[in-house]
Homo-oligomer: A and B are copies of this chain.
Amino acid sequence: MEIKVLKSVLEANDVVAEQTRELLDENGVRMVNVMGGPGCGKTTLLERVIPKLGVRVAVIEGDIRGTHDAERVSRLGVKVIQINTEPFGGECHLEASAVRGAIGEIELDKVNVIFVENVGNLVCPAEFKIGDHLKVVMVSVSEGDDKPAKYPLMFRVSDVCVLSKSDLLSYVNFDEGKFKGDLAGVNFKMPVFKLSARTGEGVDEFVGWLRKKLSL
């Protein structure tokens, strides 16, 4: 009998992520992993997108501590599960086992899509698979145009980039050409949706893409 040796924390994590993905597929549920730095607008995007999707949604919220974002999202009338990483050493990302545990709290026959709002961080969430079908990386124009060059892994592993807070474009130094050029350097085919969750500009285009991509 073959003995499988998991060589690292990451490899062990990947096994759980694979199992999660299988469980979701069996139940016809799609999972979307929303990643981005602190304050890039992940929760606000979910608040805007979920009501427009027109399908049954659950949300898993990842935070070091507290239920701030979970409370906001639960006002949409969707099921929300909060994962706090503080009891696990204040980890700066969600691991597959934590997400797997949260999924256990969701009745999978009652949802079509699970959104995971990862911990606010442009680094480690890119390294830990959780079993999602789609990875969204968000970056706000107020963070500057240098993020793809500085955090290449996050932009390489993600399927789509949301460039948020477009309503602030006139007030910040953000060179869209440079941003897209650097982005193409790490992930040539990545689609970019420039939007403002505050004003609603560009949100419908992103929702349309999401519906198509998730076959909703």
Contact = CB atoms under 8 A, between A and B. Distances in A.
A64 interface: yes
Nearest to A143: B39
Interface stretch (A11-19, A23-31, A145-153): A145-153
Interface string A142-164: 11101101111100000000000
Contacts of A40: 143
Interface stretch (A51-59, A94-102, A115-123, A200-208): A115-123
A152 B39 contact: no
A40 B39 CA distance: 10
Interface string A105-125: 000000000000001111110
Interface stretch (A75-83, A165-173, A187-195): A165-173
A37 interface: yes
Tell me the interface secondary structure of chain A in the complex: loop
A183 to B, nearest CB: 14
Interface residues of A, number: 38
Interface centre among A63, A68, A151 (most CB of B within 10 A): A151
A127 interface: yes
Interface centre among A40, A68, A143 (most CB of B within 10 A): A143
A64 B150 contact: yes
A7 to B, nearest CB: 14
Contact of A38 (B37, B168, B173): B37
Interface of A: 37-40, 63-66, 68, 90-92, 119-124, 127, 139-140, 142-144, 146-147, 149-153, 165, 167-168, 171-173, 198
